[in-house]
């Protein structure tokens, strides 16, 4: 097997800002090809990024809203028609919202974007992964999941209450890590490995954009949190580091960690699989 990094192709969602941007920069510096699925534009003054676009080593697919199934389907079809394979899929797009809001499909926005959409992207791009060289999926999770006190599908889809960071955001990240664990044996049949990774505390605040974080956390983030390069390195290590042969695990601070509510993992997987099959695949947008 030829493992020359120049031959490697990574697809990164949310690649144009924060951790995703730093991961894109890191991979390009190591001569990877990067396929970016973004809502926003890359920095115009970053010459390495702009040169990579010109050379074709960075290929960009724009989408206004990943949680809009009609747009998502069109964009994924575009990727499937143009890309030859994917070696690593980084399901990284996301973020926290400042208030309770719902997707076009009627589900809570964190759950839709952070839990369901990564599954849809994986399923739609699975054939490209199967012919990839590394056959690896990294789902960006969060240590915030440890704050989850109650967990049920009904709470995920239509919460009765809202709390910044430790509410729907945390439960959605937990659900992501749970289905990651539950689907591992299924993907292993195609030699695909999947892990969820906590990128640690990173200052990803963006000027002029509401963060969805409690004020105290915003202050602490500005003062003490690491730059997004820290999170990018954690995702990179999660994909290619010492745990690269582990399947279905959740990596916290670079080590395998136990998940709460493990008994719910299969139920979460079955629910999002049903959403994918009955809504995404069958609905005429």
The answer to whether residue 188 sits within a structural domain is yes
Q: Which two tokens stand for residue 148?
A: 């989850």
What is the structure's pLDDT at 216? 60
The answer to whether residue 285 sits within a structural domain is no
The answer to whether residue 35 sits within a structural domain is yes
Query: At a CB cut-off of 8 Å and minimum separation 6, what does 284 contact?
Result: none
What is the structure's pLDDT at 228? 83
Between CA 186 and CA 206 the distance in angstroms is 38
Pairing assessment for the beta strands 33-38 and 255-257 based on DSSP bridges: unpaired
β-pair partners for 257:
250
What is the structure's pLDDT at 211? 57
The answer to whether residue 153 sits within a structural domain is yes
The answer to whether residue 232 sits within a structural domain is yes
**Which residues of the chain have a pLDDT value below 50?**
1-2, 5, 205
Quickly list DSSP for 84-150. Answer: ---SEEEE------SS--B-TTSSBHHIIIIIIHHHHHHHHHHHHHHTSSS-EEEEE--GGGGG---
> The domain that contains 141 carries what CATH number?
3.40.50.720
What is the structure's pLDDT at 23? 98
Between CA 148 and CA 177 the distance in angstroms is 13
The answer to whether residue 271 sits within a structural domain is yes
Query: At a CB cut-off of 8 Å and minimum separation 6, what does 212 contact?
Result: 95, 96, 97, 98, 164, 165, 169
The answer to whether residue 225 sits within a structural domain is yes
Q: How many domains does the chain have?
A: 1
Between CA 259 and CA 175 the distance in angstroms is 10
SS3 80: helix
The answer to whether residue 248 sits within a structural domain is yes
* DSSP-H helix ranges across the chain: 18-29, 47-55, 69-82, 109-110, 117-130, 153-157, 168-188, 215-224, 228-240, 265-275
Between CA 169 and CA 46 the distance in angstroms is 31
Q: List the domain range (segments joined by +) for residue 133.
A: 5-280
What is the structure's pLDDT at 235? 97
Hey, how many other C-beta atoms are within 10 angstroms of the C-beta on 30? 11
What is the structure's pLDDT at 154? 87
What is the structure's pLDDT at 2? 42
């Amino acid at each position: 097997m030829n493992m020359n990094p120049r031959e490697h192709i990574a697809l990164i969602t949310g690649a144009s800002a924060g951790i995703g941007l730093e991961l894109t920069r890191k991979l390009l510096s190591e001569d990877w090809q990067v396929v970016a699925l973004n809502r926003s534009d890359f920095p115009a003054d970053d010459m390495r990024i702009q040169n990579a676009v010109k050379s074709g080593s960075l290929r960009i697919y724009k989408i206004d809203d990943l949680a809009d199934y009609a747009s998502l389907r069109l964009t994924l079809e575009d990727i499937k028609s143009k890309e030859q394979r994917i070696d690593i899929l980084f399901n990284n797009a996301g973020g926290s919202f400042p208030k309770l809001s719902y997707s076009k499909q009627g589900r809570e926005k964190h759950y839709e974007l952070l839990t369901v959409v990564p599954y849809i992207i994986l399923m739609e791009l699975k054939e490209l992964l199967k012919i990839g060289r590394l056959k690896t999926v990294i789902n960006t999770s969060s240590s915030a999941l440890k704050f989850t006190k109650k967990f049920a599908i009904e709470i995920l889809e239509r919460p009765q209450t809202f709390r910044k960071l430790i509410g729907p955001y945390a439960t959605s990240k937990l659900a992501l890590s749970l289905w990651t664990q539950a689907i591992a044996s299924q993907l292993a049949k195609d030699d695909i490995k999947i892990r969820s990774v906590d990128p640690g505390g990173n200052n990803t605040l963006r000027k002029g954009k509401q963060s969805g974080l409690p004020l105290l956390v915003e202050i602490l983030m500005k003062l003490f949190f690491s730059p997004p390069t820290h999170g990018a390195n954690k995702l990179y290590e999660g994909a290619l580091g010492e745990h690269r042969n582990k399947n279905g695990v959740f990596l916290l601070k670079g080590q395998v960690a136990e998940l709460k509510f493990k008994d719910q993992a299969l139920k979460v997987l079955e629910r999002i699989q049903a959403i994918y099959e009955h809504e995404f695949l069958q609905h005429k947008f």
